[in-house]
Chain A
Amino acid sequence: MSSIPEYMTAKHRECDEFFSEAEAAVVDKNWPLALAKWQVFARELTEHLAQEEEILFPQFEQATGMTAGPTQVMRMEHQQMRALVQSLDNALAANEKDEYLGLSETLMVMMQQHNMKEEMMLYPMMAQHLSDGEQLIEGFKASAVV
């Protein structure tokens, strides 16, 4: 059984890897490979954000009574990441290498800052406040798409 910080942090690293593979393929202008890798990344990211927004954040808010605090900021940042993912989709569809790389550098920086806040503060706090954290993670594993 893994804890919330362990599992969710490992997911961040996994997303980083798919992201880097897509980016490397764009550098080589290997568009079909880039698209394939990008789609895996986008799917993983969507699932990860949904797990947070639909399950972990509400549980945390309920357990702590903090509804306007860190989870709210995280939700807003998720919205911004989705917007960047949309722009990257477009750049990829149009095979625009420079545009893609400028946007991917941006998303990378945003994700890393975002992840750091979650990994250093939010996940440890969740582990502290959610007594059924490990069961929740087991549930995520059972319904995993990849």
Chain B
Amino acid sequence: MSGLSFNALPPIDLPFRFFLTAPLFIIACALLVLFSGEPLWLSRWQPNMLALTHGFTLGFLTMVMMGALLQLLPVIGGIGIAKPRLIATTSHVLYCAGVITLMLSFVLAHHWLTLAALVLLSLGFGLYLSAIIRVLIKKFSQGDSINGFRLAIISLVILLLLGVLLLANRLGITVPFMTLDKQLTDIHALMGLVGWAGMLIIAVSFQVIPMFHVAPSMPKYIRHYLGVSIFILLIVYIFYAEFALGMIFISHAVFAFTLFYVINQRKRKVPDTSIKYWQLAAATLLLLNLLYFLPNSFYASQGLPLFLSLPDKSMLLTSIFIYFYLLSIVQGMLLKILPFLSYTHLQQRCLIDFSAMQFIPHMHQFLNKKHGLALYYLHILTGLSLVAVLFDPSLYRIFALLLLTEFCWLLLLMVRCMRLYFAVSQKINLSNNP
């Protein structure tokens, strides 16, 4: 009878603190864009650009995903991490400090900042991952999503090891068996964007789309083989980069078509912003395929009679992938997770005190639907301004201001939701102890 943990949910403030700190990193990124000016957009190797990409990927995406995993494992697998408060609190503090020092180390290029980032991130990730891995090596009844989580975590470990090597290299420490070149950085980036973030999204989609939208399950062969295929392709990429990359794009097109199919077949047709985000993400994957498979001559703009020059292909594709795919899904999920968590935690408390049910607001009171929709439109607008900056860097101020607005708005929605949670929680306390 072990494994029957119906109430393995970690305390709500643990995932919430990951969610709340995430937008702050993008707000910092917006300021970085504002003060870096046009030179930022010259290449992906600009120190400030490295700070920016890590602010987005570690500061926001990974931060939210770390918080969400704390919550998702008990809901999907029935098992949570051991000592959640100690592990989550400590790893969160170390991780935040690690990402801040990493971003600063890129901008300021100080030796000791790099060293601090290396130590803090290793400790923060090490602590968090060892707790998660201890759960994931257990046997679960429900396979497909959990297997996806496992592949995502393996990718995260690989990308972190490469990240450590790259940081160590900046400190002058080199390893004899490896040359740290552009290809290694590419593997590091791809493992992060596709292996870690992308794989987690695919695994989560198996669960949440059928569940929240009364849609059919994803086809069996997609659930069984898509994640593994992408992971194998990531390994193949090390040896046959071009072939593997093409196949990775195609795999994502397959995922996009599956998403469209399942979403289209859903029974629950009530207007829903999270569904809009999923559709936007799927359309983005198809657009990325088109952009990737366009002949390279298309990007050599000298030959084309265009009035402006085309941006670097890999910068364009990566930006669109991060902004319109990864960020879209994460925001769409946050719009569901925030009210869902708030409600579920309060509801669990009312199992004992049934009369307190009357105090709990419904989901849309935690997060107003119109506010969620506004976030969606802001997101599209900001994403378009990002693409515009890649074509014409002088537009950077517009992008920075929109980015600032979008993530301040997201932060505000989070704070409102949490304030309501704590207000209701207080009411329940009072009704318990009159």
Q: Give residues in A with beta carbon < 8 Å to B.
A: 16-17, 19-21, 23-24, 27, 64, 66, 69-70, 73, 76-77, 79-80, 83, 98-99, 101-106, 108-110, 112-113, 116-117, 120-121, 124
Contact = CB atoms under 8 A, between A and B. Distances in A.
A27 B6 contact: no
Contacts of A70: 4, 6
- Ranked nearest first, the 4 interchain pairs of A and B with the lowest CB-CB distance are A102-B364, A102-B362, A20-B267, A20-B268
B212 A102 contact: no
B4 A108 contact: no
A73 B1 contact: no
Given A27-B270, A80-B347, A109-B343, A116 B211 contact: yes
Interface string B335-360: 00000100110010011001001000
Contacts of B365: 102
B7 interface: yes
B408 to A, nearest CB: 25
Contacts of B347: 80, 110
Contacts of A21: 267
Contact of A24 (B1, B4, B7, B269): B269
Given A23-B268, A23-B270, A113 B344 contact: yes
A120 B343 contact: no
Given A20-B269, A101-B270, A116-B211, A109 B6 contact: no
Contact of B6 (A73, A99, A104, A124): A73
SS class of chain A's interface: helix, strand, loop or mixed? helix
Contacts of A79: 354
A69 to B, nearest CB: 7
A83 B3 CA distance: 29
Given A23-B268, A108-B268, 12 more contacts: A16-B268, A27-B269, A76-B351, A77-B351, A80-B350, A102-B362, A103-B362, A104-B270, A108-B212, A109-B212, A121-B4, A124-B141
A69 B4 contact: yes
Contact of B142 (A24, A102, A120): A120
A24 B78 CA distance: 32
Nearest to A109: B340
Contacts of A101: 270, 364, 369
A47 to B, nearest CB: 20
B434 interface: no
A145 B162 CA distance: 62
B362 A20 contact: no
B221 to A, nearest CB: 22
B205 to A, nearest CB: 15
Given A24-B269, A79-B354, A120 B141 contact: yes
17 contacts: A16-B267, A19-B214, A20-B268, A21-B267, A23-B270, A27-B270, A66-B1, A80-B357, A101-B369, A104-B270, A105-B270, A109-B212, A109-B343, A113-B75, A116-B211, A121-B78, A121-B141
Contact of B364 (A77, A83, A98, A121): A98
B219 interface: no
A38 B343 CA distance: 23
B350 A106 contact: no
Of residues B1, B6, B141, which shows the largest number of chain A Cβ atoms within 10 Å of its Cβ?
B6
A98 to B, nearest CB: 7
B144 to A, nearest CB: 13
A73 to B, nearest CB: 5
A19 to B, nearest CB: 8
A16 B269 CA distance: 12
B363 A106 contact: yes
B363 A112 contact: no
B271 interface: yes
A105 B369 CA distance: 11
Contacts of B75: 113, 116
Interface in B358-376: 362-365, 369
A108 B350 CA distance: 18
Contacts of B369: 101
A76 B75 CA distance: 18
A117 B6 contact: yes
Contacts of B269: 20, 24, 27
B161 to A, nearest CB: 34
B362 A16 contact: no
A120 B76 CA distance: 9
B367 to A, nearest CB: 10
A118 to B, nearest CB: 10
Contacts of B357: 80, 83
Contacts of B271: 27
A84 B1 CA distance: 31
Contacts of A103: 362
Contacts of A106: 343, 362-363
Interface string B241-282: 000000000000000000000000001111100000000000
